[in-house]
Amino acid sequence: MMSALRSPLVGLILRRLLMAVPLLVVVSALTFVLVSFAPGDPVAGILGPNATPEAYERMRALLGLGQPLHVQYWHWLQGALHGNLGTSLYTGESVSKAIFDRSSVTLSLAVGSLLVSVVVGIGLGLVSAISRGPLARIVDVFALLGWALPSFWVGAMLILLFAVNLRLLPATGYVPLATSSAEWARSLVLPVAALSLGGIAAVTKQTRESFLDVLSTEYIRMAWANGVRPWSIYLRHAMKNASIRVVTILGLLAVGIVGGTVLVESVFALPGLGSLSVRASLQHDLPVVQGIVVLVTALVVVVNLIIDIAYAVLNPRVRTT
Amino acid sequence: MPSRAGGPAGSSRRRRARTALATLAAAVLGVGLLAGCTPGTPGTASTGGPAVLRVGISADLTGLNPATTRTDRPIKPLAYESLIQLNSAGKYVPGLAASWSYFDGNKGFELKLRPDAKFSDGTPVDAKAVKAWIDYMGVAGGPYTGRLGKITSIEIVGDLTVRLHLAAPYPSVEGILATTPWGQIAAPSAVASPKTLNTETVGAGSYKLDAARSVSGDSYVFMPNEYYYDKAAVQWSEIDVKVISNPTSMLQAIQSGQLDVAVGNPSTAAAAKGSGIEVVTATSAVETLILDDLSKGSPTGDLRVRQAMNYAIDRKALAQALVGTYGAATSAMSPGNGQVPAYEDYYAFNPDKARTLLAQAGYGKGLTLKMLEPSWKSNLTQAVASQLAAVGITLNVTTAATPADYVTQIKSKSYAIVNQDLPTDADVWTVWTGTLQPKSLFNFTNWEVPELSSLINSAATSGEAHYWTDITKAVTEKAVFVPLYKVDAVYFVSKAVTGVKLSEASGGIPLISDWKPVK
């Protein structure tokens, strides 16, 4: 047990988790200040222009908005440390519940897109690296298109083709997994396709370049010379080393995909965290914005930690530093 | 050195790689198509038994508690039927109240409730419940608190009769009860514990919210209210309401069969018609420049300046450019009970006359006015600004980034002109109390136009119908506003539903109780 704790990898994990705490506090405080200073009064947005002055004051007092900023933040922080993220200024709904109801949608979309990006991207990158000639060119062009085409446009085109014209898949909406696994999958096909295109392009390019570098190394040439079978060379000998650079970009890709869910959720009318964050930002619904920012920050920390662990597993030299 | 991909061995490897790739692609496509062919495709109404109605709305409900949120017609009335309803033709018809009348020079209002109405918790809709609700509305601090004027007392006369006593004449109580949450009463048990109203509905409407299957901001599922007094009027086994803010996504949802009725948009209406979807429209609001300061000494306090502004605007060109066939130019406001069609062209476009009037008013060299625009109407502001600039009126425009910012800026009382759309379901009295009355938000300098005040005072006590059109005429002749054009509400209707009707007097808002499945 003690030797395990002294392991560099465990040390890395513990250091990252400890750093996450002050990071979350700083991010939440910054968000609080930025949203508070954004133009517009949330009470004015809630009550509209025709409410009486007394109604404004009553609502401000009810929502605790009359207190100094640092007092409001302190109350929020105390609640957050006890698992209470507050209530929405607009709907009165618990922020935790609002986030929980929607997080499965965004997670399904983001994880699905990441998986598709990795599997398809690595596959295409591998094929492109092995082949020469037209196939490699086609993959290159596809990668370029994937980077260039915005996900929301791709989404709209996919809806037009597969939902409106062919009526094969739904145009909008999300079906929870608990309701029907088949419908859940169907509701995610088009959004995941739209969101993963850019990721596939990035992973394809990175995989291809990485494989080309690894395949030109001495030990691979030796494997060819020794008559090792091709797929054994690609998948057993080259893949692990080529994956190191691919894993490096996965962290950035994951964060980019989470950010990309905002537009895709709008196009497909998915009830995820992206659409909730847009609505809450426009409404100055501070507790909801705070809750989402804290959650996303925690997710980014976890994703980066997983990437670091994967990197250490793939590259033993990292474990000793 | 072995070739990575060259030579005879390499070409064999390439063939195998291509074969593997093609096989993989076929497998992925096959799985995708198989998933697409799975039975139970969403987007089709159930064909056996009572139908499910699927409605798309573009703006989310402002919350579930009627007392602290907006009316959210036509959705929230599904669960919270009003005491008095505004039907799709713009007429006030009985809801939970069977009849009503004014007394004491419009300082009193009596409601007689229907005897068989019940809330969704099974408790009766009686005079005590109405009193409890109105008492709660007066202190809830929501957007409409204070809109009914000062209520001095609420008298209960028997089980089913309620009398409101007001401090001042109020000739539009039925309008307030029909179009604001004052009439969307909730059960006394919920009023006693208002937090429950944030998460569930406890009204006397034909449906009630299924909170477990609803996601705030995204989708709301309504099931029939087992205690509703008119079972025959309940046409649907379930009503699913989906929030889709993107107009293109809304169109595609109804085109693909996922929705039966959708709130449409002029930008997508042509495409909807082209795909065989019925497009139903009616005027819902008048896009208007509201002049905040008509006090003596201010530029817009001079009638000639206000009339010049009206003559300077080419409303037909503006409407054509900004709303196309889904609107029409108008020089007059269009309140539900005070429409004067003959005044819609009162200020025909005449920039020369505008310059003459400005010169007569002493502004021959031009003047500058501060204007607040919402960021989502910048096209309109640019067009108006250029037309006013042509006659010598320069607009110094401040842009509000969000709706909350917009309201905050209005309250700053810094602007001579504010862009606002006036809904056509608001009656003349509501327009007066909301935008013209001294001390209202848009009349922060407490200006008064004597002819208008005289008409208002007479209308307040008598409520005779001709006063409402007289007031509309006076507002137009005195150029109190600068109305620009009417804007249509647009609804898309699939072949599965019939009965979707709108009208200008209803504010372009339908009654869902009119909708029936096509058999």
Q: What is the DSSP string of B366-389?
A: -EEEEEEEEGGGHHHHHHHHHHHH
- Burial class from Cβ neighbours inside 10 Å (0-12, 13-18, 19+) for residue B34 reads exposed
Distance CA B437, CA B455 (A): 13
pLDDT at A6 over 70: no
Q: Which residues between 293 and 332 in chain B have a beta carbon less than 8 angstroms from any beta carbon of chain A?
A: none
Q: Is A283 on the interface with B (CB under 8 A)?
A: yes
Give how far Cα B16 sits from Cα of A4, A113, B19, Å: 46, 28, 5
Q: How does DSSP classify residue A66?
A: T
Is residue B356 within 8 A of residue B382, CB to CB? The reply is no
Tens digit of pLDDT for each residue in A281-320? 888 888 899 899 888 888 888 888 888 888 777 776 665 5
Do β-strands B516-517 and B497-498 pair in parallel, antiparallel, or remain unpaired?
antiparallel
What is the total residue count of chain A? 321
Distance CA A159, CA B249 (A): 9
pLDDT < 50 positions in chain B? 1-8, 17, 20-49
Question: According to the model, what pLDDT value does residue B11 have?
Answer: 56
Question: According to the model, what pLDDT value does residue B468 have?
Answer: 94
DSSP structure string for B11-31: HHHHHHHHHHHHHHHHHHHHH
Preceding amide of B74 cis, omega within 30? yes
Judged by CB atoms closer than 8 Å, whether chains meet at B141 and A49 is answered as no
Nearest to residue A255, comparing CAs of A313, A293, A202, A297?
A297
B43-50 contacts, C-beta under 8 A, 24 or more apart: B43/A167, B43/A170, B43/A171, B43/B256, B43/B257, B43/B258, B44/B257, B45/B260, B45/B496, B45/B517, B46/B237, B49/B237, B50/B235, B50/B236, B50/B237, B50/B517
Judged by CB atoms closer than 8 Å, whether chains meet at A224 and B1 is answered as yes
Distance CA A320, CA A309 (A): 13
For residue B407, which residues of chain A lie inside 8 Å, CB to CB? 40-41, 44-45, 47-49
Distance CA B19, CA A275 (A): 42
> Residue A275 is inside which H or E element, if any?
helix A273-283
Q: Is A240 on the interface with B (CB under 8 A)?
A: no
Judged by CB atoms closer than 8 Å, whether chains meet at B258 and A101 is answered as no
Judged by CB atoms closer than 8 Å, whether chains meet at B246 and A284 is answered as no
Tens digit of pLDDT for each residue in A164-211? 999 999 999 999 998 899 999 999 999 999 999 999 999 998 998 888
Q: Is B408 on the interface with A (CB under 8 A)?
A: yes
Identity of the residue numbered B82: S
Distance CA B493, CA B73 (A): 18
Look at phi and psi of residue A95 and say left if phi exceeds 0, alpha if psi is from -120 to 50, else beta.
alpha
Give how far Cα B435 sits from Cα of A313, B84, B99, B292, Å: 68, 24, 30, 9
Q: How does DSSP classify residue B74?
A: T
pLDDT at A255 over 70: yes
Kindly indicate the confidence band of residue A1, based on its pLDDT and cuts at 50, 70 and 90.
low
Q: Is A215 on the interface with B (CB under 8 A)?
A: yes
Give the residue with greater pLDDT, A10 vs B169: B169
Q: Is A153 on the interface with B (CB under 8 A)?
A: no
Tens digit of pLDDT for each residue in A229-243? 888 888 887 888 888
Residue A254: which residues within 8 A CB-CB, separation 6 or more?
A110, A114, A303, A307
Give how far Cα B385 sits from Cα of B21, B247, B366, B442, Å: 60, 28, 13, 21
Q: Write out the two tokens for B326.
A: 């889904």
Q: Is B53 helix (H, G, I), strand (E, B) or coil?
A: strand
In angstroms, what separates the C-alpha of A49 from chain B's closest C-alpha?
A: 6
Question: According to the model, what pLDDT value does residue A230 have?
Answer: 82
For residue B440, which residues of chain A lie inside 8 Å, CB to CB? 50
What number is the average pLDDT over the span A119-148?
Answer: 85
**CA end-to-end span of chain B, whole Å?**
76
Cross-strand pairs, B286:
B422, B486
Judged by CB atoms closer than 8 Å, whether chains meet at B41 and A269 is answered as no
CA angle A305, A306, A307 (to 5 degrees): 90
Look at phi and psi of residue B474 and say left if phi exceeds 0, alpha if psi is from -120 to 50, else beta.
alpha
Judged by CB atoms closer than 8 Å, whether chains meet at B143 and A55 is answered as yes
Nearest to A130 among B5, B65, B242 (CB): B5
Nearest CA in chain A to B38: A182
The residue assigned the tokens 């409409």 is B144
The residue assigned the tokens 């006659």 is B391
Question: According to the model, what pLDDT value does residue B32 have?
Answer: 43
Give the residue with greater pLDDT, A244 vs B60: B60
In angstroms, what separates the C-alpha of B197 from chain A's closest C-alpha?
A: 9
Judged by CB atoms closer than 8 Å, whether chains meet at A172 and B248 is answered as no
3-state helix, strand, coil in chain B (%, to 5): 35, 25, 40
Judged by CB atoms closer than 8 Å, whether chains meet at A167 and B257 is answered as yes
Nearest to residue B368, comparing CAs of B393, B341, B343, B402?
B393
- Burial class from Cβ neighbours inside 10 Å (0-12, 13-18, 19+) for residue A183 reads buried
CA angle A195, B28, A214 (to 5 degrees): 75
Q: How many CB atoms lie within 10 A of CB B115?
A: 12
Question: According to the model, what pLDDT value does residue B12 have?
Answer: 57
Q: Is A321 on the interface with B (CB under 8 A)?
A: no
Question: According to the model, what pLDDT value does residue A5 have?
Answer: 54
Is residue B146 within 8 A of residue B163, CB to CB? The reply is no
Distance CA B106, CA B104 (A): 6
Judged by CB atoms closer than 8 Å, whether chains meet at B35 and A93 is answered as no
Is residue A282 within 8 A of residue A275, CB to CB? The reply is no
Nearest to residue B482, comparing CAs of B288, B243, B283, B229?
B288
Distance CA A149, CA A134 (A): 22
Nearest to B21 among A44, A127, A284 (CB): A127
Question: According to the model, what pLDDT value does residue B111 have?
Answer: 97
Is residue B222 within 8 A of residue B64, CB to CB? The reply is no
For residue B137, which residues of chain A lie inside 8 Å, CB to CB? none
Residue in A34, A43, A47 to test binding to B, most B beta-carbons within 10 Å = A47
- Burial class from Cβ neighbours inside 10 Å (0-12, 13-18, 19+) for residue B77 reads buried
In angstroms, what separates the C-alpha of B115 from chain A's closest C-alpha?
A: 33
Tens digit of pLDDT for each residue in B439-471? 887 888 888 888 899 999 999 998 888 999 999
For residue B64, which residues of chain A lie inside 8 Å, CB to CB? 91
Judged by CB atoms closer than 8 Å, whether chains meet at B143 and A50 is answered as yes
Do β-strands B207-209 and B219-224 pair in parallel, antiparallel, or remain unpaired?
antiparallel
Q: Write out the two tokens for B426.
A: 């608001």
In angstroms, what separates the C-alpha of A13 from chain B's closest C-alpha?
A: 36
> Residue B129 is inside which H or E element, if any?
helix B127-139
Q: How many CB atoms lie within 10 A of CB B368?
A: 13
Q: Measured over all CA atoms, what is the biggest interatomic distance in chain A, rounded to whole angstroms?
A: 87
Give how far Cα B287 sits from Cα of B17, B239, B283, B284, B424, Å: 64, 32, 11, 10, 10
Is residue A204 within 8 A of residue A142, CB to CB? The reply is yes
